[in-house]
Chains A and B, each alone.
Chain A
Amino acid sequence: MTDLFDTGLDRELTLLGAQIAIPATPSMAPAVAVALRQRRAPSRLGLRMSRGLVLAIIATLLLVGIAAALGIALGGVRFVIGSGTPAPLPPGVAADRGLGRLVTLDEARSAVSFQIRFPAGTALGEPDHVYVSTLLPAGGRVALVYGDRPGFPADTKSRIGVLITEFRADIGPDSFEKLIQQGVRVEEVSVNGATGYWVAGGRHFYYYRNADGAVVDDTMRLVGDTLIWEEAGLTMRIEGAPSLADAQELAAALH
């Protein structure tokens, strides 16, 4: 009886397996390749140059130390060790931040219902990664991820310098009510002539009304200070800028 029963269940499960509606596989290779091309593989030449640079720095520091020990004046001479071009952000570092799916810029443009703004003429340049979420809010949400940039040092843990998020939503002072009650500092500031909010420190939750009028709970994706404001129906969020002035400068450059 047990055997008969087991055979019946096996047969049913086999039939059921053929009935499960599995969607067609989306093409992933192009987006993965784009992300990987931004990863710079260290060449042997690069490795040798790095070693050479390290040796040169050590030699320079030794000379400076010896000069100081011997009381040799080095007045007027300043040694500047440039940071050079920052390494591109490795793929996958922002994957677990709930930003959506990794896409190319063109894919992002066609996935959202608004014109994406980019910080033109700033040290940020092109984003390292672009993420899109079409689940929430209505009209989609785009996230521009930037790694280490001059003036915008990456967080050592997340390796992200700046994160800019854009989506259609209404925000107001009540969006941050809970935060204020919890003692988080939320400052009302001016951003491109509109009212914005500067939320200082921590990983915080807030809410907004999306284009359908539905209330959506959201969270800041990075630990750090955040500037959030609404402009022409589009809500924008800048996370990771070192100061309010830096965030406001980036906001002014968004076109």
Chain B
Amino acid sequence: MTLRIGIPRALYYYRYFPFWNAFFETLGFDVVVSRPSHRGLIDEGFKYADDDTCIPMKMAFAHTLNIKDQVDFLFIPRLLSVDVKTCCCPRLAGLPEMLKYSIPGLPTILDPYVDERYRNSTLLRSLSEMASALGKSSKEIKQAYQKGEMAYQLIRKRMEQGEKIPELFEKAGKKNLSSPKNDSEKKIAVVGHPYCLYDPYFNFDFLRILEEAQTSVYTQEMVPKEEIDSEIQGFGKDIYWSSGREILGASLHYLRSKQVDGLIYLTCFSCGVDSMIEPLVRRKVEENGKTLYLCLMIDEHTGPSGVLTRMEAFLETVERRKTNRRMA
């Protein structure tokens, strides 16, 4: 019987799933992903989660709870840093233990270190440590790693061209959301942590709202890394969170290049990274003065009307400004 590896559909699933999926499948494991978020699943999981953490973290609890009985191993990588000279939110690094001590009856957790802060080649080593404990040879592991890397690069490229993550990850291959077309009426950039942007339950499917309003959506994944690196110079300090860098760099890029009419920053309540990055973005928007800005903070409310109202108002403002400009 093949071993089943469980991956919760939460947090950095929305970025690195293609890699993990290809890696484990090449090694001959079954990959089980938790169901997409829905009310029952989330409510059940929130009972186990600590009330001081942010909602994406609580959702990780919920998704772990959802698959814990169907799998032999849980894959919760310990994300310390995904790039040189950056680090991740510390909650991610403590996640394996937080889950272990909060949810009873969990299967064994595989928690390889992902720590690229000082050197760029530690991932293969920690993954092979993990996989060789499961009885795989180093040749197989290397091959799987390369497959994973390839799958990730492929997805990354497609994201740069404007495809959105949830659709890319569905194996059935649903129809894509509209990729940016130049003839489209309104152009909106959305930034935020990937797990905020791409979980339709969490953000009330706001990408869909945008699409239905005939907007073309620009995401931070569409800004190349070199561009981000050059944009965030001039703060007198390295922005050390990799997610924060990406959000700030992409926002500055869109503000400066005047590619878009509006910028939406999606954040969640009590996010530590956003609490420091958002003021910087806001200030740049004020300096720039041309782009409309909406900061949408999502908390545990279950009604979509708050988000809907603000989105509608925002889109209408964008629309009106465009018409005014055309009239003038």
Asked if A and B are interacting partners, one says no
